[in-house]
């Protein structure tokens, strides 16, 4: 394994460890901590430091080392975890993330960047009342006396560090403290390797230790303590067994069979395996090809009379079932929790709130929701824009909130959940909401809408997504340049998603992102229009029906609307939208598929007929051809023909559909 690969693996694992560290710090700050929270935080920082030492990242190691020392005091109870100390650890973790990112880019952070934090952390560690837990004093280099244990077993550990142990960012004292936390510990130091003062090297390790842990623990618990030093020491871990009985109390001794000095602990069974993303993508593509071939086989099988080959139909059905299970399994490998993106947001909120002089609390839920890795990687920028918008435009200053009868601290809620075949990500705040009068005035001022235009609340809210639109009075480092929200919508739509906004003036705003669970394979409804076939995503379909002639109304200049259960739904004939000849023109002779859109509500799509439901492999139009309005991708059907996958959100914005999608319902109500 090459050095570059090891380095890349370290940065990838360190990113995961930072996510864990932030999660534990959040739990501590919000009183959600349990007995393992502080230990998990310590392990994360220790692991980052250990790997950093191996690669020579001395500045990163220096900061992590003093953080580790403070965490060790906190978990041992020598220091109390006050809010001020938690806030200091949070700042230190932010700085650690910056140092890690700089090393990954092969850049150097400014000189002295971390010095102030190191000094503040050290001051806390060395403060009065922060004395280290007591341990047995060093003894002569001799085997310790047997540890008396009432019942059970324990472990005898011979730990002889190599000279370079300290240079690899490891600290024996922390290892001993970690052992002491597991149970009663007898410690004896061996001084036989300690040279005279004139020959002593300050960075070399000379002491060795014999430790007797009198606790009935599994070997793996002890091995975990020494996980990062096995290459820098001679280590033996031997079980204690009852040897002699004195005064009716058993005395524990080392077992006769001992591991050889310097031997590695036996590895525990791996619970996961790290796989290169390119290999997973290759597997996804192969499954996609199998889905296409399976569709073709089903198409051919339908032409064969059952009596010719009785087992063919059953075999194809079994194949379909197994292929769906395979596809779901492969998709599960490709997905990952949105936590990897959500974990970056608390720091953004902290820094931006400080910059704007606002008191903000970020509440995050649903971070374990899983979504396609490709989608996750492209969520960071849209969420960053939305959060900056919420803090700058949405939330008021503490004084303004207090004057409005609100708590001085504003709240932003970021959540994720799976609903059907889509992922909903919601970002809401309890700020001032959208000032629609101001938005409309600015839009008229910039010529985005006509001076005499009369828009509904929803249409005004949609204006914030127009390119170049901003209500900021002045350009700042946070906002005001008119870029951001239009970029958010384009990015979300490029992922096959939609974004909607709801707002109440004086109460707050709510943005909802609806994203596909996966970009590779989806369930679709095949519909025919003339000689063409299109795919409608199942998740967007509300219902389908053949309307009666009396349920169709023609609105002059606005198109047709469908009256259904007291509501009016604008109709969009797909043959008109895409210029398809020989299609059904009369809605009462065709099929209307009602779909849900974000910015136009429900729309009825007029098609000739419903062909059937099937899994389809999504092929990107942008990568293979170019962007087409109303089209979200393409696929290959069982008959080998290419079919276009409809973008339901984009259909309502087509020129042919614009009038009906925006105004037909209101016109129909007025007509009746």
Q: What is the pLDDT of residues 278-327, one digit of tens each?
A: 788 788 778 877 887 887 888 788 788 877 887 887 888 888 888 878 87
Helix axes 277-301 and 310-334, enclosed angle (nearest 10): 160
Neighbours of 546 (CB within 10 A): 11
Give domain limits for the chain: 3-125, 154-254, 279-336, 338-516, 521-671
Are 382 and 344 within 8 A, CB to CB?
A: no
Rounded Cα–Cα distance for residues 25 and 27 (Å)? 5
CA-atom Rg of the chain in angstroms = 33
Helix axes 3-29 and 83-104, enclosed angle (nearest 10): 160
Are 359 and 410 within 8 A, CB to CB?
A: yes
Reported in sequence order, the residue ranges of 286-372 that DSSP labels E, i.e. its strands, are 335-337, 360-365, 370-372
Rounded Cα–Cα distance for residues 190 and 194 (Å)? 9
Rounded Cα–Cα distance for residues 166 and 19 (Å)? 27
pLDDT of residue 49: 86
Are 294 and 323 within 8 A, CB to CB?
A: yes
Residue pLDDT, tens place only, 151-195: 447 889 999 998 888 777 678 888 888 888 778 888 888 888 888
Rounded Cα–Cα distance for residues 223 and 226 (Å)? 5
Q: Which CATH number applies to 3-125: 1.10.3720.10, 1.20.120.160, 2.60.40.420, 1.20.120.450?
A: 1.20.120.160
pLDDT of residue 553: 87
Are 430 and 394 within 8 A, CB to CB?
A: no
Q: For residue 570, give the 3-state DSSP assignment.
A: strand
Q: Which two tokens stand for residue 150?
A: 């009432």
CATH architecture of the domain 521-671 equals Roll (2.30)
What are the angstrom distances between the C-alpha of 234 and each of 145, 226, 257, 522, 662?
Answer: 21, 11, 17, 55, 75
Which class in CATH covers the domain with range 338-516? alpha beta
pLDDT of residue 251: 46
Rounded Cα–Cα distance for residues 390 and 392 (Å)? 6
Q: For residue 14, give the 3-state DSSP assignment.
A: helix
CA dihedral 454, 457, 462, 463 (to 10 degrees): 50
Q: Which two tokens stand for residue 451?
A: 């001076």
Rounded Cα–Cα distance for residues 553 and 672 (Å)? 10
Are 642 and 634 within 8 A, CB to CB?
A: yes
Which residues have CB under 8 Å from 576's CB, separation 6+? 656
Provide the CATH number for the domain formed by 154-254 in this structure.
3.30.70
Rounded Cα–Cα distance for residues 165 and 175 (Å)? 12
Q: Is the dihedral of CA 646, 647, 652, 655 positive or negative?
A: negative
Alpha helix locations (H) across 137-276? 172-180, 219-225
Segments in the chain below pLDDT 70 = 1-3, 128-152, 169, 241-272, 420-421, 468, 470-484, 518-520, 557-558, 598-600, 621-624, 626-627, 652-672
Rounded Cα–Cα distance for residues 185 and 609 (Å)? 78
């Amino acid at each position: 394994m090459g050095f570059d690969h090891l380095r890349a693996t370290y940065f990838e694992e360190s990113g995961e460890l930072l996510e864990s560290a932030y999660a534990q710090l959040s739990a501590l700050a919000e009183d959600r901590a349990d007995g393992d929270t502080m230990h998990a935080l310590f392990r994360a920082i220790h692991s980052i430091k250990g790997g950093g030492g191996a690669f020579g990242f001395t500045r990163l190691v220096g900061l992590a080392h003093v953080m580790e020392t403070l965490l060790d005091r906190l978990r041992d109870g020598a220091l109390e975890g006050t809010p001020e100390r938690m806030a200091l650890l949070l700042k230190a973790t932010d700085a650690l993330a910056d140092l890690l990112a700089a090393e990954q880019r092969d850049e150097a952070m400014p000189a002295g960047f971390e010095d102030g934090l190191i000094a503040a952390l050290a001051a806390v560690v060395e403060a009065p009342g922060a004395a280290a837990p007591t341990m047995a004093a060093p003894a002569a280099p001799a085997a310790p006396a047997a540890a008396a244990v009432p019942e059970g077993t324990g472990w005898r550990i011979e730990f002889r560090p190599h000279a370079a142990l300290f240079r690899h960012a490891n600290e024996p004292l922390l290892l001993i403290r970690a052992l002491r936390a597991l149970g009663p510990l007898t410690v004896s130091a061996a001084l036989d390797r300690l040279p005279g003062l004139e020959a002593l090297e300050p960075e070399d390790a000379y002491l060795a230790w014999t430790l007797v842990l009198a606790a009935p623990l599994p070997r793996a618990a002890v091995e975990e303590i020494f996980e990062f030093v096995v290459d820098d020491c001679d280590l033996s871990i031997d079980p204690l067994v009852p040897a002699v009985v004195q005064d009716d109390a058993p005395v524990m001794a080392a077992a006769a069979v001992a591991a050889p000095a310097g031997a590695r602990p036996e590895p525990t069974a791996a619970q996961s395996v790290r796989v290169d993303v390119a290999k997973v993508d290759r597997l996804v593509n192969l499954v996609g090809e199998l889905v296409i071939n399976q569709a073709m086989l089903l198409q051919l099988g339908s032409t064969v009379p059952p009596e010719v080959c009785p087992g063919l139909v059953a075999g194809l059905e079994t194949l379909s079932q197994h292929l769906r299970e395979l596809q779901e399994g492969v998709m599960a490998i490709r997905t990952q929790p949105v936590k990897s993106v959500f974990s970056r947001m608390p720091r953004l909120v902290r820094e931006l709130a400080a910059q704007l002089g606002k008191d903000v609390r970020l509440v995050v839920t649903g971070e374990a929701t899983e979504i396609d890795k490709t989608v996750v990687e492209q969520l960071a920028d849209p969420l960053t824009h939305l959060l900056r918008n919420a803090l700058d435009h949405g939330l008021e200053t503490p004084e303004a909130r207090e004057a409005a009868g609100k708590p001085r601290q504003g709240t932003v809620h970021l959540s994720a959940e799976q609903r059907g075949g889509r992922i909903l990500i919601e970002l809401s705040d309890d700020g001032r909401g959208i000032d629609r009068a101001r938005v409309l005035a600015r839009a008229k001022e910039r010529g985005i809408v006509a001076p005499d235009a009369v828009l509904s609340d929803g249409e005004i809210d949609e204006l914030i997504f127009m390119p170049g639109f901003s209500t900021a009075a002045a350009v700042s480092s946070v906002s005001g340049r008119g870029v951001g929200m239009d970029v958010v919508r384009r990015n979300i739509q490029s992922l096959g998603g939609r974004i909607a906004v709801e707002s109440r003036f004086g109460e707050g705003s709510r943005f909802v992102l609806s994203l596909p669970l996966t970009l590779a394979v989806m369930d679709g409804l095949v519909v025919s229009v003339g000689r063409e076939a299109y795919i409608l995503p199942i998740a967007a379909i509300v219902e389908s029906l053949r309307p009666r002639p009396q349920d169709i109304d023609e609105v002059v200049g606005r198109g047709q609307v469908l009256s259904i259960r007291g509501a009016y739904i604008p109709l969009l004939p797909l043959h008109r939208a895409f210029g398809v000849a020989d299609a059904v023109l009369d809605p009462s002779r065709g099929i209307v598929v009602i779909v849900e859109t974000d910015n136009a509500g429900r729309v009825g799509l007029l098609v000739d007929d419903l062909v059937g439901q099937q899994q389809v492999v999504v092929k990107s139009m942008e990568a293979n051809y170019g962007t087409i309005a109303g089209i979200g991708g393409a696929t290959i059907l069982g008959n080998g023909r290419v079919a276009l996958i409809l973008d339901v959100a984009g259909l309502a914005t087509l020129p042919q559909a614009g009038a009906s999608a925006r105004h037909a319902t209101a016109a129909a109500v007025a007509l009746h």
